[in-house]
Amino acid sequence: MHLSPDDIIFWEYGFLKLNATIVFTWGLMCVLVIGSRAITRNLSIGLERARWQNLLEVVVLAIHNQIREVGLRQPRRYFAFLGTLFMFIVVATLFTVVPGYEPPTGSLSTTTALAICVFIAVPLYGIKEQGLGGYLRSYLEPTPIMLPFNVISEFSRTLALAIRLFGNIMSGTMILAILLTVTPFIFPVVMSALGLLTGMLQAYIFSILATVYIAAATSSFREDAEQDYDLDGPDDPEMKRPETR
């Protein structure tokens, strides 16, 4: 067992290397794209719906409501990005039950790439919501003295996102490798199940932190406090299911 998928090299020519991180990352992206296309191809808008569609709607609405509860009042604007982050990490964890598979989130390069996506998305959403001037002024709040600290926090939290996800996934792999050498029959099964739970939890934490950062950049928290916005208010009309009588 390898501690990182970077250690598994499938092809090498000079300084070019094709390791498991690249292969499994692209494989996961293909699974997500093809799977999303397949399960959304024949959706029904009537009252009679398949069980798999009901399950899909439960997942979508759960993510949608979680985004809104964090502070983003129009979750549909951010759903594609945040939902993709969450599903990528979840699917990467679930595939650990497949023999020979190594989760790409066990590589620091993958977690860093995910954190950089959040790092880029936060100012983009902030500028789109407040304008360039309004977003840049947020670095001077609450006082201009905080400017260097606010700038440093942008980079430090990106580093924290990458290290947190990488550390938790790698530690689970390391513990499992140690237990395989000591007790190869009982504890590895338990630790594998615990690893799945940990991976799910890390996917939730990563996506929630990304949501919080975007909400702060778009001033949703401040606007909600000023307007006494009710987080339990009605959902977006487009996300509501038709009522039955």
Considering the domain boundaries, does residue 104 fall inside one? Answer: yes
Question: Does residue 245 fall inside a structural domain?
Answer: no
pLDDT digits (tens, 9 = 90+) for 90-106: 999 888 888 788 888 88
For the stretch 184-215, pLDDT in tens is 666 666 667 777 787 888 889 999 999 999 98
Answer whether residue 77 is part of any domain. yes
Digit-coded pLDDT (tens) for 92-150: 988 888 878 888 888 889 999 999 999 999 999 988 888 888 888 888 888 888 888 98
Predicted pLDDT at 236: 52
What pTM was estimated for this model as a whole?
Answer: 0.78
Q: Is residue 143 part of a domain?
A: yes
- Please tell me the total count of domains within the chain: 1
Tokens of 98: 């497949």
Q: Is 9 inside a domain boundary?
A: yes
CA 63 to the chain's CA centroid: 11
- Residue 244 in domain: no
| Closest to 199 in 3D by CA, of 95, 76, 59 | 95
Quote the Cα angle for 33-30-99, to 5°.
130
